[in-house]
Amino acid sequence: MILSKIWERKLFFNTLKLILFFLVAIFMIVIVIDFSIHGAKIFAHSKTSISLILKYYFNLFFIQLNLFLALTFLLAIIKVLSDMNIHHELTALRMAAISAKKLSRPFFIIAILISIISFINFQYFYPKSLSFKDSFKEKYLKKTNYAKKMQPSVIYLEDGAKLVYQKYDQLQNKLFDAYFIKNSSDIWHAKYLTFNEKEAVGKYVDHLTRKDKNFEKIESYESYSFKDIEIDENINMFEPFENRSITNLFKQNLSKNICLKEKNEILSYLNYKLAMPFVSLIIVLAIFPPLIAFSKNISIFFICTFALFGFIIFHTIMDSALILAENAARAPYIILWLPIIIISFIFGRRFKKI
């Protein structure tokens, strides 16, 4: 039976309490820092309300949840095990013929729970929260005119056509300065392109066709319905890949009419979201052995310092791997899973020896 022993329940619930405490404390610090930076801009807007600000920070919580859960879990393990070492509780448990691997069981259970929560967050809460944050920043935290000019985005449709646009307004579900490229000789330009259910409606539309080596405008419309543009109502194809759920990324990866670059980006974010929830398990493998072997000659300060630096370095490596995978010629999943496998192998061998 899981957690049948008193010492198991003590380790489990003490760690959970510390995770919740650190989670609340860290997020409150994030709120204070974020509000001190953006508070003036938010309240300068005429439509700002307390409920809107609360909604913004509620969504910000889910955006940072996976990172904060892993970090607080790391801090909680260090706190619980170091306190037990100081009070000789670990020595007493070991003398009672309880192996180190059995002592790690409550932490692995919590690590699995955190991994499940992280998967659920990436699937349901993180994508919507990130989309809300993007819309909020666009409306209330908009950068000045000196900001860098936006680069055009490209969407590859299932029939081989392309949609090239300058900007996407999520609130109105509208594209600005959009080009519908049916083929190399047939191009439509719309100043605005709005999507209503399954239909795309353009405003101030020009139809361009190739004649000899140049394009000529042959027709103009104040309003035009693009029946050739097929929209998947289950997937918002204008959302950044980071804002999409795991299942949506998986469905899009199965599409046969996407270019290699787009497929690499989809695979990169899909594998990134599948790999990162396993961080909590790696934390147990990495931090548990040195804390079990803790003695008065080793400072807890150095253990905590090295653990935090390792945590930062790991996330830096994974973020770099994501960028590298997006631009890789092939097999982006290898680039993203390789650090996880190597680190798990290194610390797994050490854990096996305890």
Per-residue DSSP letters for 201-212?
Answer: EEEEEEEEEEET
Residue 181 phi/psi, 5-degree rounding, is -100, 100
Count the Cβ atoms, other than its own, within 10 Å of residue 213: 5
Residue 202 phi/psi, 5-degree rounding, is -100, 150
- How many angstroms separate the Cα of 343 from the Cα of each of 8, 89, 283? 27, 30, 10
Q: Which pLDDT does position 144 carry in this prediction? A: 45
Q: Which is it for strands 153-156 and 162-165: parallel, antiparallel or unpaired?
A: antiparallel
Query: pTM for the complete prediction?
Result: 0.86
Q: Which pLDDT does position 151 carry in this prediction? A: 61
* Sequential pLDDT tens for the chain (354 residues): 678 899 999 999 999 999 999 999 999 999 999 999 988 888 888 788 899 999 999 999 999 999 999 999 999 999 999 998 888 888 888 888 888 899 999 999 999 999 999 999 999 999 999 999 988 988 888 754 434 445 678 787 767 788 899 888 877 788 999 999 988 889 999 999 998 766 889 999 999 998 877 888 999 999 999 988 876 655 667 788 899 999 999 988 887 767 777 888 999 999 999 999 999 999 999 999 988 875 555 678 888 999 999 999 999 999 999 999 988 767 889 999 999 999 999 999 999 988
